[in-house]
Structure 1
């Protein structure tokens, strides 16, 4: 009706400006807890995880997008807002992260044919809601950073939990068609508490690594912009770390992490069945490992 299109897809540019950055970030990390957890739960429920490739990819895409955004700073201009190790211009970086986030919902709703239509819609809603909550949670997190609020005031961490371990639980419940089962609420609650404990532990570990001039292990998991653990303007990371340890702020963060871990333990205490057992083992193998490591580095100096 209107004539030929005025543009063609620049496949080479898409490869270099979108696909390659995603795979580069994917290859930089070795821990892929989200698709692993979803696959373990699906298998525990008696189904083959490989039947749901789009869903598993969607969970990891969310994580990669968040890691990309973690490279940004709250600067006054583009130069100040991009970290030195970032090779992509800021507008490109933001576009890639935004597109990857949106692709996650699209993968579920349009390409996960193994799910029933109603279940697909439910899971796409959970993915979209997790995106919304995470965006709000990160915005509030930055505001808390400016105010240096205490860990006990960090209610917004509930908004950041879904993208860690709760969304993989949702994926498994959808694959098993048990998202409306009585056990679903218990599994999702336990995963949320475990997510917060894990993120707090990773933040402590990441701050410690940066203080020692080492590559932060927190690259594997998005750390939180915790102001009590962050350096002040023109303050060396090693000095900031010593200050936070001596002031007891690190201990306060770890205390909060232990409380959340206990909440997850209590949520699963009365749960039965293979899904609860699998989630329990996963939390013990991941969250407890990181908590122990965070406790160790908190006493290192």
Structure 2
């Protein structure tokens, strides 16, 4: 009578392992139950607390004054981000260039605006007339060609845009520079070998590849910008926070009106988070096997095709 072979025993062991069930996660379920219970209890406590003034929150959530402040907040965010990204791209390219003067000036700009608080910068721009009563265009060491009163130019709106945009440009410059450095140097060298100018190589080859590294921190900066616009309330700019402050200065409903602002900020940032996730998925398609769709911009062969197209 033949004995069972070692191979049969090994198959039996593998069969048992395959059919084995994971232990019941009792501890994890208990932890989730405790967290859920605490969360529900906290939510009911907050919802049932009359000191939060939920009826006041509901009454003023779409108040015209609040909505005007919301539009200003969104407008400031869009304008400051567009200017910040455009200037940041220029600063990043200047800092990475072989020109020492351009690199030094770019580094100095980034050092100053990243190293000083945004609130101080906004107050400085708003009070610029105390230092320079007039803004002039003049020949160096010569007479002024044209002059304007500083107070006519530096309004709360222009002070807010300039302050937010310049501060954002300093941060975006480092984000963009990091993204450009993440692209293989061989891409630019191959483009130059095929006769492409540096500007065209940046626009067609390097920047599209760098977007995968640039998009996530840029999304974070956009969300930070939404919240940073609340600082312009100190220079009498009627943004969302300033609007709710003007209401609770009349009604003395401080907490409910601050909750109105908080809920609007949370709603906006939630929408931006969804948009950021969608954009990240778009630029990370190559990591999920969709690289063939972007071959022209993702490898040196694509550089050759673009170079032939340029010729």
TM-score of the aligned structures, taking structure 2 as reference length: 0.29
Write 1 or 2 for the structure with the bigger share of helix.
2
Larger Rg: 2
